[in-house]
Amino acid sequence: MFGTLVKRGLPLMAGLCALVGTTLVAAQGADAKELRVLAWQGYADEDWVKEFEEKSGADVNVVFIGTDDEIWAKIKGSEGKDFDLFAVNTAQLQRYIDAGLTTPIDLDNVPNQKAQLPIFSDLTKVKGVMRDGKVHAIPFCFDSIGLIYDTDKVNPAPTSMDVLWDAKYKGKVLAYDNGEHNFSFTALTLGIADPFNLTAAQMDEIKAKLVALKGNVLSFYSTADEALQIYQSNDVALIWANYGQQQVKAMQDAGAHIAYVNPSEGALAWLDTWALTSGVQDKELAEQWIDFVLQKKIGEQLSQRTGFGNTVAPSPNAGANDKLIYLEAVEDPTKRSDLWNEIKAAQ
Amino acid sequence: MSRRRFKPATASSHWPATGAVFAFPIAFILLPLAAFLAYSFFWTEQGVMSYALTLRNYARFFTDPVFLPVLRQTCVLCLEVAFLTVLAGYPVAYFLASLRGRIRYILLMLMLVPLLMSYVIKIYAIRSILGGHGALNRALLWLGLIDEPLTVFVFNLNAVLLTLTVLLIPFAVLPIFLSLERIPRSLMDASADLGASATQTFMRVILPLSLPGTITALTFVFVLAIGDFLTPQMVGGQSGFTFGRIIYSQFGTAFNWPFGAALSVILAVVVIAAIALGTIFGRDRSALK
Task: For residue A98, tell me if it sits in a domain.
Answer: yes
B66:A341 CB<8 A: yes
Domain that includes residue A221, residue range: 147-261+327-345
Number of structural domains chain B divides into:
1
Facing residues of A325 across strands?
A268
Mean pLDDT of chain B: 89
Suggest the residue from A69, A231, A334 to mutate for an interface test with chain B (most B CBs closer than 10 A): A334
DSSP annotation string for A283-338: HHHHHHHHHHHTSHHHHHHHHHHH-PEESSS-BTTB-TT--EEE----S-HHHHHH
A233:B127 CB<8 A: yes
pLDDT-derived band at A278 (thresholds 50, 70, 90) equals: very high
CATH of the domain at B73: 1.10.3720.10
Q: What is the mean pLDDT of residues B34-47?
A: 88
Task: For residue B160, tell me if it sits in a domain.
Answer: yes
A333:B238 CB<8 A: no
Residue of chain A with shortest Cα separation from B236 = A219
The predicted pLDDT at position A2 comes to 44
Task: For residue A120, tell me if it sits in a domain.
Answer: yes
Q: Which of residues 283-342 of A touch B (CB under 8 A)?
A: 332-334, 337-338, 340-342
ipTM over 0.85: no
**Count of pairs with CB atoms under 8 A, one residue in A, one in B:** 80
The predicted pLDDT at position B50 comes to 87
Task: State the greatest distance between any 2 C-alpha atoms of chain A, in Å, as a whole number.
Answer: 68
Residue A322 pLDDT > 70: yes
**Are the C-beta atoms of residues B238 and A219 closer than 8 Å to each other?**
yes
Distance (Å) from the alpha carbon of A341 to chain B's nearest alpha carbon: 7
Beta-strand (E) ranges in A42-123?
A: 59-65, 85-89, 102-103
Domain that includes residue B210, residue range: 57-114+156-281
Query: Is A194 in the same domain as A254?
Result: yes
A77 touches B at CB < 8 Å: no
Query: Is A92 in the same domain as A135?
Result: yes
Residue of chain A with shortest Cα separation from B44 = A334
Query: Is A209 in the same domain as A333?
Result: yes
**Are the C-beta atoms of residues A209 and A188 closer than 8 Å to each other?**
no
The CA-atom distances, in angstroms, between B17 and each of B22, B27, B285 are 9, 16, 38
Within 8 A of A179 by CB-CB distance, chain B residues are: 253
Task: For residue B251, tell me if it sits in a domain.
Answer: yes
**Are the C-beta atoms of residues A61 and A33 closer than 8 Å to each other?**
no
The predicted pLDDT at position B5 comes to 56
The predicted pLDDT at position B149 comes to 85
Beta-strand (E) ranges in A160-230?
A: 173-176, 217-221
Task: For residue B174, tell me if it sits in a domain.
Answer: yes
Task: For residue A222, tell me if it sits in a domain.
Answer: yes
Q: How far apart are the first and last CA of chain B?
A: 21
Query: Is A40 in the same domain as A95?
Result: yes
Task: For residue A296, tell me if it sits in a domain.
Answer: yes
Residue A98 pLDDT > 50: yes
A342:B66 CB<8 A: yes
Task: For residue A127, tell me if it sits in a domain.
Answer: yes
Query: Is A256 in the same domain as A181?
Result: yes
Q: What is the mean pLDDT of residues B60-75?
A: 94
The predicted pLDDT at position A333 comes to 86
Suggest the residue from A218, A240, A242, A339 to mutate for an interface test with chain B (most B CBs closer than 10 A): A218
Query: Is A97 in the same domain as A175?
Result: no
Query: Is A169 in the same domain as A51?
Result: no
The CA-atom distances, in angstroms, between A254 and each of A227, A232, A237, B126 are 12, 9, 16, 20
Residue A9 pLDDT > 60: no
Task: For residue B205, tell me if it sits in a domain.
Answer: yes
Q: What is the pTM of this model?
A: 0.81
Residue of chain B with shortest Cα separation from A215 = B238
The amino acid present at A107, given as its one-letter code, is L
Residue of chain A with shortest Cα separation from B130 = A233
Task: For residue A27, tell me if it sits in a domain.
Answer: yes
The string of pLDDT tens digits covering residues A49-77 is 999 999 999 999 999 998 888 899 999 99
Task: For residue B147, tell me if it sits in a domain.
Answer: no
Contacts 24+ apart (CB under 8 A), A116-123: A116/A294, A116/A311, A116/A312, A117/A311, A117/A312, A117/A313, A117/A314, A117/A320, A118/A320, A119/A318, A119/A320, A119/A322, A119/A324, A120/A311
Query: Is A152 in the same domain as A43?
Result: no
The predicted pLDDT at position A15 comes to 47
Task: For residue B72, tell me if it sits in a domain.
Answer: yes
Task: For residue B183, tell me if it sits in a domain.
Answer: yes
Number of structural domains chain A divides into:
2
CATH of the domain at A284: 3.40.190.10
Letter string b/e over residues A231-244, b meaning 16 or more CB atoms within 10 A of that residue's CB: bbbbbbbbbbbbbb
Task: For residue A321, tell me if it sits in a domain.
Answer: no
Distance (Å) from the alpha carbon of B255 to chain A's nearest alpha carbon: 7
Task: For residue A322, tell me if it sits in a domain.
Answer: no
Residue of chain A with shortest Cα separation from B136 = A233
The alpha carbon of A26 is separated from its chain's Cα centroid by a whole number of angstroms, namely 30
The string of pLDDT tens digits covering residues A217-233 is 999 998 888 899 999 99
Task: For residue B176, tell me if it sits in a domain.
Answer: yes
Residue B178 pLDDT > 50: yes
Higher pLDDT, A7 or A189: A189
Selection from A9-18, A264-273, B123-132 with the highest mean pLDDT: A264-273
Query: Is A130 in the same domain as A176?
Result: no
A340:B249 CB<8 A: yes
**Cβ neighbours of residue A155 closer than 8 Å, sequence gap 6 or more:** none
The predicted pLDDT at position B193 comes to 92
By Cβ distance, the residue of A175, A179, A334 closest to B256 is: A334
The CA-atom distances, in angstroms, between B74 and each of A345, B59, B160 are 11, 20, 10
Q: What is the mean pLDDT of residues B37-65?
A: 90
